[in-house]
Every structure is written in C-alpha cells, then in structure tokens.
C-alpha cells in the first residue's frame, strides 16, 4: 500500500492510502480538477510525478483539434 503523509501541526499527522479512486491533479491549462489513474498515466514505464501533468478532457479536446475523448472532468 502506498500513502501520502502530512504533518498538520505538532500534534496531528494525517495519512491517506493512494488508490485508483483518490488521485487528482489540476489541469495545467485551465486549472480544473482532474481524476487521475496513475496506472494509466505511467503505463509506458516513465514515472516522474514531479514533471507529469494531465489535461482535462476539454483542454485535451481543444489541443487535439476538436476530437472528443471519453475522459470526464471531476
């Protein structure tokens, strides 16, 4: 199990399991929240969380010249 951990203050720490339903990012073009399937994003084997960005379906559609994709914004 992978999880994220954050120290909120001296007395409180929170940890959350990472799974296929709770990973999100912000679209680098418009800033909307996008749900991310890490297995799909890193399927090619190139894993770099720092420099990886995921576009929302609307921005992907615009970038691809109006072609519709099945992804949905969250």
Q: What is the pTM of this model?
A: 0.70
Note whether 29 and 59 are within 8 A (CB). yes
5-63 pLDDT, tens digit per residue, is 999 999 999 999 999 899 999 999 999 999 999 888 889 888 888 888 999 999 998 88
**Hey, which bits of 1-74 come out as E strands?**
3-9, 12-17, 24-26, 33-35
Report residue 68's pLDDT band, with 50, 70 and 90 as the boundaries. low
Radius of gyration of the chain measured on its C-alpha atoms: 15
| Per-residue pLDDT, 69 | 56
Quick one: pLDDT at residue 27? 94
Nearest Cα neighbor of 70 from 21, 60, 28, 23 is 60
Dihedral pair phi/psi, residue 41, rounded to 5°:
-65, -40
């Amino acid at each position: 199990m992978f999880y994220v951990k954050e120290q909120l203050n001296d007395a409180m720490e929170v940890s959350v399991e990472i799974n296929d339903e709770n990973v999100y990012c912000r679209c680098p073009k418009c800033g909307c929240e996008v749900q991310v399937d890490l297995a799909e994003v890193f399927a090619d084997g190139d894993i770099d969380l720092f420099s990886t960005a995921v576009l929302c379906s609307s921005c992907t559609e615009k970038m691809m010249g109006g072609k519709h994709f099945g992804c949905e914004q969250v």
